[in-house]
Amino acid sequence: MRVSGFASAEVEAGWSSISRRIDALVDLVAGRDADDLNWRPPAPAANSLYVLATHTIANARQGLLAVLCGHGDDRDREAEFRAAGDSGEPLERRWQALRSEMSGCLATLPATRLDERLVHPRQGELTGRETLLLVATHAAEHLGQAELTRDLLAASRGGDPG
């Protein structure tokens, strides 16, 4: 075990990237009202802040806990895109609980798991390393979309993104 508490420096680096981005996404929805959370940009297939946060958290759970750590998976991806909320508090609570669970699981994950061939429900066969990278890039992509959505929302109302 490394001094940091993670068995693998590579897993620790991946987790750090993922958790920072989802932390930022959850911070972005915090304190917003239902109108802000559920507003969608006027573009085909654009998603609300609430959907982006819900989907990103669920994707991380599936990739890290289900695929990489071998836990059960009950994800309903289609429901994520219908998600709506009156506040960001449920997302904050869900993320805090999952964040702790993910950190604990990943801290004990041996580096050899990154070389193993795993089956992802949507992507097919991937190595553990590819799975970790997939979750990290997905979280970064959706954080960027959420930041743009926040800015478009502010512009639509004549305000500052704040």
Task: Please list the residues that pair with 124 across neighbouring strands.
Answer: 120
80 part of a folded domain: yes
Cα distance between the two ends of the chain: 42
Average per-residue pLDDT for the chain: 95
| Structural domain of 111 | 9-156
1 part of a folded domain: no
At 142-160, the pLDDT tens digits run: 999 999 999 999 999 987 7
Residue labelled with tokens 């693998």: 8
How do strand 117-120 and strand 124-127 relate by DSSP bridges?
A: antiparallel
Structurally, how many domains does the chain consist of?
1
Where helices occur in the chain by DSSP H, the ranges are 9-29, 34-38, 49-60, 77-80, 89-107, 128-156
CATH number at residue 27: 1.20.120.450
One-character DSSP codes across 30-61? TT--HHHHH---SSTT---HHHHHHHHHHHHI
Task: Please list the residues that pair with 127 across neighbouring strands.
Answer: 117
2 part of a folded domain: no
At 29-67, the pLDDT tens digits run: 999 999 999 999 999 999 999 999 999 999 999 999 999
50 part of a folded domain: yes
At 9-38, the pLDDT tens digits run: 999 999 999 999 999 999 999 999 999 999
162 part of a folded domain: no
Q: Please state, in angstroms and rounded to a whole number, the distance separating the CA atoms of residues 63 and 91.
A: 18
37 part of a folded domain: yes
4 part of a folded domain: no
56 part of a folded domain: yes
